Amino acid sequence: MAVTVAFSVNGVASLHTQILERETFHDFYTLTPEKFNNKTNGITHRRFLLAANPGLASLLEEKIGDNFITDPVNGFKRF
């Protein structure tokens, strides 16, 4: 119902928008394709932690070192 009255339908990632257009809301897409778009947020967990949540970033650095900033997956492997 929201799709019918919404100004815009944001699939966030391009892949998700394609799924909405081809499968989930295909009928709505054929009626108003101009509503469907994607705008990826673009923030990474590292940026969030370092800028918006320095306390959590400090805790992670204390527990696993600062490698999570540049190599995020390897820092968490042992957990």
In the chain, domain spans: 2-37, 45-76
Q: Higher pLDDT residue, 52 or 74?
A: 52
- Determine the 3-state secondary structure of 25 from DSSP: coil
* Euclidean distance between CA atoms 60 and 49, whole angstroms: 9
- Determine the 3-state secondary structure of 26 from DSSP: helix
Average pLDDT, the chain: 87
What is the pTM for the complete model shown? 0.52
pLDDT tens sequence across 9-42 = 999 888 999 999 999 999 999 999 999 999 887 7
